[in-house]
Structure 1
Amino acid sequence: MPLPVIIDCDPGHDDTLALLMLGKSPELNLLGVTVCAGNQTLEKTTHNALRVLTLAGMTTRVAAGASKPLSSKITPVSDIMGESGLDGAVLPEPELPLEALSAVELMAGLLRQSGEKVTLIATGPLTNIATFLTGWPSLHSRIERIVLMGGGTFGNVTPVAEFNFHTDPVAADIVFRSNIPIVMSGLDVTYQALIYEHEIEQIRKLGNPVSTATADMLAYYLQRIVQRQYSKDGAHLHDPCTVAWLLFPDLFDLEPAYVAVETARGYCFGESIIDYNGKLSGKPCNAQVMVNINREKFIALIIERLSRYQGL
């Protein structure tokens, strides 16, 4: 039986790749897509999600959520993602409708309707997830787990804070205090999840409209990352790690940890404190944290899933 999932995202080049993997992964039953502000404003990330789903021929339900974090303000990463949040490729205009429901209302309805527990995938700031957890405590038991991208033992917006957690540390704190099983894909593993120029060209050579658009987006993304010296020659595929773990968990090494998020304003705002095995804090582990990835097999998985779009 396919695993029922909902993805909450802020597309974003790497969110886009996660969505496209979901579109051709029959092992996972995508119930819905919810969108938050993060990489760009909510208006832009919602438009991007609808354009990507239209490109892929996906017909899932889509709802917009939080336009601002619980604890901070949106700081779009235009220097990396561009003014649209998804520069680099020509994408079709949306053909999917946007739900009248809010993101959290759609989450609640889908969880009630599902005959099985649902896995939540979170690839943006955790504002929508935290708002749902706070507003619908009776539905916590309907969640199998939360697989999220965020955090790490170092930062990419400040020396200690990763973008998603730094954007809304209060939301991240709520999620990690929820007692719901969490699998965390942080910078320690996503900085290993690099794609290189020759691999982007392999995607382009697949020769279908989805792979061509993906290659164009990734080429732009790689160029921006290298120009701004986030990497010497590869682009970090942060968000697809969540979907890849659900498909093939053996691609990753995980360690149990107690994870806390710093919400106080100051130098450490948004920092994730990761205490492996709870050794130093003495607190029970609340997450499984990805620490290593088989990069070559990860990239091969992405290319294989994009190859399935032949005939669109």
Structure 2
Amino acid sequence: MKKYPLILDCDPGVDDVFAILLAHSTPEIDLKVICSVSGNAGIEKTTYNAQLIAGLLGAKTIIAEGASRPLIKEAPPIGTVHGTDGLGGYAKGFGEDRLAPISSMKALDVYRKILLESEEPVYIAAVGPLTNLAILFLAYPEVKSKIAAVSIMGGGIRRGNITPYSEYNFYKDPEAADIVMKSGVKLLLCGLDVTQKATLSEKEMKSLKESQNEFSDFSVKILSSYIAKDAAIHDPCAILALTNPEKFIYEDQYVEIDTREGITRGMSYVDNRKNQEKKPNCRVFYDMDLDFFRKSMLDALEHEASKKPDENKSPNDQ
């Protein structure tokens, strides 16, 4: 069985919850650390939410706080899809004792330490704005050789969601996305072209409601308000693209990011002009096996439900 030592960079966010769940429950994945970044909510809330989800899952990993703002410009206003707390209003429904511990080091230093000390290349799943990665590549370019691949939820070749042309994560920090796209690291891009197909049907929602365990109950609550505004559960696609690329349709292409002001700021686009010397810098995912996605989500939740009560304790409780 191939193993994936993984750093998960996220901005929880409802759909980030299911990326964390999937990374935690997949046997092939060795989840090293969860790094927070400002995105779906401010950095204090996304860090808290990462601690909460890791704690509820009993994930034996640390949380590292990342960038609190984009590289250059002030962040645009935070949307309402994930609620004011990032988790549909349910972030404070548990005691502080349920939180996983936070590292004394910031995300930049945790990244560097893990990558340089690892005996094998490390995978990164980045499902929020790419600020942490851009800072890492600027500060410590030597770590690039230790990265097996970066799987990104961001962008959209044929569509946007925050503007007609731009996806939310890339729009939040286009300069960071541009740096990552030009980094030379192996990149997998799960943009809106594929992630907007990542939905759960009434059948799966019914199964969740019938599970009657803590995490499933929590999942139903946070999904209820979220899917009324956005039916797609985007972020887990970046995990599945790493472990099960055969379940997707993709193309190797040259992707660029528009960093100019205006309606196209943050737009990701493919340069398809003939007679260009630009080699593909990214594997772009366009479609997937929807049944596989839905089964993966339910399997992850069932894995969590099947654990003994003491297995759900956070590292703080051990």
Q: Please tell me the TM-score bracket, short chain as reference.
A: over 0.9
Which sits farther off after the overlay, 288-297 or 68-77?
Answer: 68-77
Is the CA contact 2:188–2:241 (under 8 Å) kept in the aligned structure 1? no
Residue 88 of structure 1 deviates from its aligned partner by 5.1
Q: TM-score normalised to the size of structure 1?
A: 0.92
Q: What's the offset of the Cα at 1:100?
A: 1.5
- Structure-to-structure mapping, 1:103-182, within 5 angstroms: 103-153=107-157, 154-182=159-187
Deviation at 1:267, TM superposition (A): 2.4
Report the secondary structure of 1:116's partner residue. coil
CA distance in 1, matches of 2:75, 2:235: 19
Amino acid paired to 2:196: Y
CA–CA separation in structure 1 for the residues paired with 2:149 and 2:83: 32
Greater displacement, 284-293 / 191-200: 191-200
2:200 alignment partner, SS class: strand
Deviation per CA, 1:32-91, whole angstroms, max 9, x where unpaired? 111000000000000111011111111201110110001333345442111101115434
Are 1:38 and 1:76, in contact at CA under 8 Å, matched by a contact in 2?
A: no
Shift of 1:281: 4.4
Partner amino acid, structure 2, of 1:6: I
The separation in 2 between residues aligned to 1:88 and 1:238, in whole angstroms, is 20
Q: Quick check: 1:289 aligned with 2:290?
A: no
* Aligned amino acid, residue 291 of structure 1: Y
How far residue 248 of structure 1 moved from its aligned partner, in angstroms, is: 1.7
Unaligned 5+ segments in structure 1 are: 226-234
1:36 equivalent in structure 2: 37
Equivalent runs, 1:154-233 vs 2, <5 Å: 154-225=159-230
How many residue pairs are counted as aligned between the two chains? 302
Alignment partner of 2:249: what SS?
strand
Separation of aligned partners in 1, 2:247 and 2:74: 35
Superimposed CA distance per residue, residues 215-241 of structure 1 (whole angstroms, 9 cap, x where no aligned partner): 22112211233xxxxxxxxx1111000
Instruction: Provide the aligned C-alpha RMSD in A.
Output: 1.6
Higher RCO (C-alpha under 8 Å, 6+ residues apart): 2
CA gap of 1:263–1:78, structure 2 versus 1, over 3 A, is closer
Q: Secondary structure at the match of 2:119?
A: coil
Residues 77-116 of structure 1: CA deviation (Å, up to 9, x unaligned): 4421111011154345343221111111001111122111
For residues 307 and 149 of structure 1, the distance between their equivalents in structure 2, rounded to whole angstroms, comes to 24
- Per-residue CA distance 1:235-288 (angstroms, 9 max, x = gap): 111100011122222221110110000111122111111235x64744110000
Structure 1 residue 185, shift from structure 2 partner: 0.2
Once residues 63 and 179 of structure 2 are traced to their aligned partners in structure 1, the CA distance between those partners, rounded to angstroms, is 24
Q: Residues of 1 paired with 2:232 and 2:151: CA distance? A: 18
Distance 2:6 2:112 in 1: 13
Corresponding letter in the other structure for 2:243:
L
Q: Which deviates more from structure 2 when the two are superposed, residues 187-196 or residues 48-57?
A: 187-196
Pairwise CA distance, 1:136: 0.7
Using the alignment, how far apart are the partners of 2:282 and 2:109 within structure 1? 26
Partner of 2:238: 242
Query: 2: distance between equivalents of 1:75 and 1:41?
Result: 11
For 1:207 and 1:280, the matched residues in 2 are separated by 58
Aligned partner of residue 62 in structure 1, secondary structure? strand
Q: Are the structure 2 counterparts of residues 161 and 288 from structure 1 closer, same or farther at C-alpha, using a change threshold of 3 Å?
A: same
Q: Which amino acid aligns with 1:209?
A: E
Query: Is 1:37–1:74's contact at 8 Å kept on the other side of the alignment?
Result: no
* Partner SS for 2:211: coil
Match of 1:72 in 2: 73
Are the counterparts in 1 of residues 56 and 99 from structure 2 also a CA contact under 8 Å?
A: no
Specify the alignment match of 2:28 in structure 1.
27
Compute the TM-score of the two structures, normalised by the length of structure 2.
Answer: 0.91
Is the Cα contact below 8 Å between 2:7 and 2:123 reproduced in 1?
yes
Moved more, 156-165 or 206-215: 206-215
Q: Which residue of 1 aligns with 2:297?
A: 302
SS in 2 for 1:269: coil
Q: Where does the alignment leave 5 or more consecutive residues of structure 2 unmatched?
A: 310-318
For residues 180 and 158 of structure 1, the distance between their equivalents in structure 2, rounded to whole angstroms, comes to 28
The residue correspondences of 1:39-50 to structure 2 (distance < 5 A) are: 39-50=40-51
Letter of the aligned partner of 2:152 in structure 1? L
Out of 253, 257, 260, the position equivalent to 2:253 is 257
Contact 2:71 2:173 in 1 (8 A): yes
Residues 262 and 269, structure 1, Cα contact 8 Å, conserved in 2:
yes
Give the secondary-structure state (helix, strand or coil) at the position aligned to 1:81: coil
